Each structure stands twice: as structure tokens, then as C-alpha cells.
Chain A
Amino acid sequence: MRLIRNIFRRKLRAFLTIFGISIGVFALLVMGALAEKLTLLVDGGMRYYEGKVVVTAPTQFAGLVSTPLKASLLREIEHVEGVARVSASVSALLDKEIPAVSMGNIPTIQAEDGRAKGYEKFVFGYTAGRELRNTDVGKVALGADLVKRLNGAVGGHVEIRGKRYEVVGIADKTLTAPDNAVMMTMEDARRIVHEDLPDAVRDSVDPNSIVSSFAVYLEEGERPEVVARRIERQVDNVEAMTPLDFERQVKQPLAIFTSIIYAVALVSLLVGGLSVVNTMTMSVAERTREIGVRKAIGASNAQIMGQFIAESAVIGLIGGLAGLVMGLLVTVAGNAAGEATGNALFLVTNRLVVGAVTFAVALGTLSGLYPAWHAASLNPVEALRYE
């Protein structure tokens, strides 16, 4: 292709320019994949919180440490006006130690009393086996992302916190929290939570009344915010979280974080774009005499302009594709490494791939506009005299 030959007239320069663009696309893709993953997680959270109120103990230290609630609170909450149903759940970290750095979902243990059935809208099916029942003591169902990590299969056994459990089911992939959860009975989960409590409080807590949170389902027409305030007023020492609270606490910071991520990536891409402007300007200057010859043999201004724009668009395209390949390598490798711990950091979506490459081509085209215009507007005679 003649265009490619023109671009690679100066091999090192062409390579560096393309590299500049590809670094930008690489950054856009990797950072974008991170943002897409976080967005997905948060959207999952939004779906989970939708239409209900979640009651927990007042948060202490960034929500990582919270003392358990008491099971007896269930009745109290259910008596609050506007509440249709309350379901208790117990949760704990799958590993006793919290990983120092973690993105995405931390693997957890989840148990619930089954009272949510028919009220909970966030439901998922099972790829293999069946759902866990209240009577399944010593058995578990696994979230999709934990299968590999725990090396579990339906009918087989997995080891959790030093104890063996039989696997009865493997959940469908939900792309959010349940993927990283081991579902077990309240009884089993309560034992683990109780063991995790600090020595000082452990003896004063009755393991059979431990509850981590209550999911509160509302009566028809009630607003979560109103009911949440009622609960906090009528029940001592609890915090009620609504979808709106979740949005405020998680979604908005995420939106800001996402914008920053994209801004950083776009800046690096823009720098790549500037190097295209530079390269094309130099290329036009070097080829001044050639432009004069082209015009003398019949090239119109539009044809000259089209040629240079096409060249820089192709630089953008090649850089975009190279950046895409580098980005895919890193995200795939990163996810493969993360898989072992149940954490896939990146999510490469179609819109991200198409967007990144399109942006690179658009940037290449845009960067070529001025140099191309300059080339087209050269006076043929002056260009021919140029040494």
C-alpha cells in the first residue's frame, strides 16, 4: 500500500510516532478496563440495594470492623411502619486476613435465613447443583469466581477456615458480589464470625444470635429513605442504608474516580496526538518539493490534503491497533493472575475496544488536518524551488 510506504519513509520516526499513539491507547484501554470493572461492580451493588433498606450496626473504621447485631432486632424492625419483611444475614471474610491491597470484590462467606425469598429481586440461578437450604449444615454453594480458587466441584469438598464442606451447588456468574461468595448455613457462618471476634468480646456474644445485617423489604408504595429514617429512630444503635445512600457513598466517588482515570488516559493519548502533528508537519516540510511536483503533474489541493490526512489517520489506526494489542495482553494477563485470588481486575468491553481505536483514528485524522492543510496550500512554484 502506497500510504504505508509514505508513512514508513522515515522508519524510526514513524515507529516512535505510532508508539506514542499506542501508549495512549494502551493507557486508555487498561485504565478504561479498570473503570469498566468498577462500574460493573457498583452497578451490581445498585441492583442489590434497589428497592430495599439494609440495616447494619453503625459503621466503624471504614466499614471494615463492625460488631454483630442481635437476631432479636428482626422483630423490632419488622414492626416499623412500612416494613413488609426482614431477612437476617451473616457475612464474614473468606480469609481471616484482609488483603492489604484489593480491587474488586473480596471473597466472603454469606449466609441468610431464607426469609427474603419472594421479596428479594436480586436472584440468580445455579450452573451446577442446587441452591443451599437452611438444613444444609456442613455444606456450601460456591460463587462462580471461587470455583477455581477453592478447587470445588458439586459433590466434592472444599476447605474453608480449616474445615471441610461438601459443595452442593455452583452459582451462575452475576458479575458482582455473589461471584466471590461462599454461601453456607447461618449456623456455620455464625460459628466462623464468632471465632473471628476479638477475645475481649467473644465470650459476651451468643453465637446463635449473631446477625451481620438485615435486608428490609418495603410495603408497596413506601419510599426507602422514609422507612430507613423511621428504623433509625425506632431501633437503637443501627444504621439503615438506602439505595440513595449507596449511590452517594459509592457511585458518586466512583464517577469522579472514573473521570480521573479516563482523563489521565486521554491526556497521554493527546500527547501521542501532538507527536502526530509534529511528525506530519516535519513530513510536509521534507516533502515540500514532492508536493510541488505532485501539483505540477495535476494534483488538486483536495487531493494533496486527502493524502496527508489519510496518512495521519493510518498512523492513528496502526497506533490504535498496536495499543489495543498491548492493552489486551496486559488486561488478559492481569486477569489471569487475579483469577487465582478470585479477583479479575479488568473488564474489556466492546465499547471500550471500539472507543479506544476510534479515538486513535479520530485523533490521527485531527492531528493531520493542519499539516495537510498547510501542504495543500503550498504554492506549487515555491514548492518546486524549495531545496
Chain B
Amino acid sequence: MSEQAAHVVEALYGGEPQSQADGAYIIQTRDLTKRYQLGRNNFVDALRGATLDIRRGEMAAIMGPSGSGKSTFMHIAGCLDVADGGEVWLNGRRVDGLSARELVGIRRKEIGFIFQGFNLIPTLTAEENVALAGEYAGMGRGVALNRARELLEMVGLGDRTRHVPSELSGGQQQRVAIARALVNDPGIVMGDEPTGDLDTTTSEEIVGMMRTVNRERGTTFLIVTHNPEVASACDRTVRMRDGVVVDDGDGTPPGP
């Protein structure tokens, strides 16, 4: 990151994030960098100093051209990957630099994921898919399955609990994925193009469902999308370009 950019960050955020006494932010990132080495002298800087704050309880969209680093950002903010440089704060606790084992623990308890397309385990039924995340987190099988059924009921799939993914429509599969993301009651759910494979109507339905969960349970949502309509249903739209956040959607211009 350039020296100039560092000054910008300094001006905007006053250096390191303060420990949030009121817990206003669920995730804060500072200056995230990530370089993929492709060959000896051949590399891609997927992130070049991405800085973003996500407020607890909000629903934020991330948009940006293909290759701008949205997925990379989401993976690092979601403790699925580690950055080369920069900081990640989760619930006011610094989590970059934690061991892989500790990151698994954080993912289980605090973060839910929804992906585009292939998302569910094809050999497991809807309820087993949802329960699986609970079981990985240490829930007993019976408890996890009960919770899975409740959540499937909530997303409107109470009558599809024993179906395997191939017997469900794309929209239904994404609803199962939403239920699965919620099974451990995480503070934040991250979706990487969760409506990418869906038609407009179904896409609206899924976003509507996330909105409902967001309002009723207070779960924070961070959604990477190429669809402006999905973005407009969110509280704000973050824009990324070339590995940096160029607009955090709060009306504060990020640079001079």
C-alpha cells in the first residue's frame, strides 16, 4: 500500500480500530493485502489495502468488477483465509495471525457462509446438510437435527427436510444454505454471489428471506453480488476495484 493511501486510512479511521465498547462493529478490516504468486515473476495482487467496517446488524452488499478482490476480501474477513498484511478485527478482537485451528473455531461459532451454485453436500438430505454445520461445531446429532428442522421450517422448507439437493430447486437449495448458515447462530452470514445462479424472481425471494432474517434475528449480512437489485435491497453498497474498497457506501469518499 502506498504511503499516500496509508495517510488516507490514518485520516479516516484514526489508526487502529478502537476496542468497541458499544460493539457497534462486527467486523473491521485494515489495509488487507493478498498476493497470489503465479510464477517466479508473475503474481496477482488480489487485495492492495482493503479497509472496511461492517456494523453489527446491518445488511451490506459488495459490488465490483470481476477480479476486483471481492471473494478474496470476503474469505479473509470470514476467517477462511489469511491476508499477507493488514488487520482483521472480529467483535472487537483481533483475529489475523490466529492459528488455523483457532480460525476453525471462530468460523463455527461466529460466521455463516453461503456460496453460489454447488453449496450443499449432494448425498445428505436438507436437514442433514443443515445439521452438519451444527455437528461440526459440537452439537449432538439429535439436537442438530431438531434445530435444522426448525430452521428449515423458518425458511419455508418444513415439508422438504428429507429431500436431497438434487430433488430441490436452485432457490430451495439456497434456502437450505441459509438455514445451514444460521444453525450455530452466528453474528454474521457472508454470501458470495448467493443469487448468482438464480433467476430474478427467485433471487428476490432469497434476498427477501435474508432481509427477514436480518430484521428478525439481527443477523448481520455481507453479500457479494453482481446484481444491482440485490444490492439495492441492502442497507448500503460497498464498491471494490483493483483490490481496494473505493466506496464504502456510507457517503464518505475514501480518498482525496
**CB of B180 within 8 A of chain A?**
yes
A208 CB contacts on chain B under 8 angstroms? none
Does B123 lie within 8 Å of A9, measured CB to CB?
yes
A296–B121 alpha-carbon span in the complex (Å): 13
A334–B247 alpha-carbon span in the complex (Å): 81
Does B133 lie within 8 Å of A298, measured CB to CB?
yes
* Stretch of B2-10, B61-69, B100-108, B199-207 contacting A (4+ beta carbons < 8 Å): B100-108
**CB of A297 within 8 A of chain B?**
yes
* Stretch of A265-273, A286-294, A338-346 contacting B (4+ beta carbons < 8 Å): A286-294
Main secondary structure of the interface of A (DSSP, over half): helix
A-B contact count (CB 8 A): 58
Q: Give the one of A5, A297, A300, A379 with max B CB within 10 A.
A: A297
**CB of A104 within 8 A of chain B?**
no
Give A288-325 interface residues, CB cut-off 8 Å to B. 289-290, 293-301, 303
A293 CB contacts on chain B under 8 angstroms? 115, 118-121
**CB of A2 within 8 A of chain B?**
yes
Does A298 lie within 8 Å of B137, measured CB to CB?
yes
Task: Kindly state the interface size class of chain A when it binds its partner.
Answer: 20 to 34
A160–B181 alpha-carbon span in the complex (Å): 84
A14 CB contacts on chain B under 8 angstroms? none
On whether A294 and B121 interact (CB within 8 A), knowing A299-B136, A381-B75, A384-B115, the answer reads yes
- Could you pull out 6 A-B pairs where Cβ atoms are within 8 angstroms? A293-B118, A296-B113, A298-B107, A300-B104, A380-B80, A384-B115
**CB of B47 within 8 A of chain A?**
no
A295 CB contacts on chain B under 8 angstroms? 80, 104
**Residues of chain B at the chain A interface (Cβ within 8 Å):** 75, 78, 80-81, 100-101, 104, 107-108, 112-113, 115, 118-124, 128, 132-133, 136-137, 180-181, 184
Does A297 lie within 8 Å of B80, measured CB to CB?
no
Contact pattern, A 356-383, Cβ under 8 Å of B = 1, otherwise 0: 0000000000000000000000011100
A380–B115 alpha-carbon span in the complex (Å): 13
Q: Tell me how far the C-beta of B64 lies from the nearest C-beta in chain A, rounded to whole angstroms.
A: 17
**CB of A6 within 8 A of chain B?**
yes
Does A289 lie within 8 Å of B121, measured CB to CB?
no
A380 CB contacts on chain B under 8 angstroms? 80-81
Does B101 lie within 8 Å of A298, measured CB to CB?
no
A313–B189 alpha-carbon span in the complex (Å): 36
B124 CB contacts on chain A under 8 angstroms? 2, 5
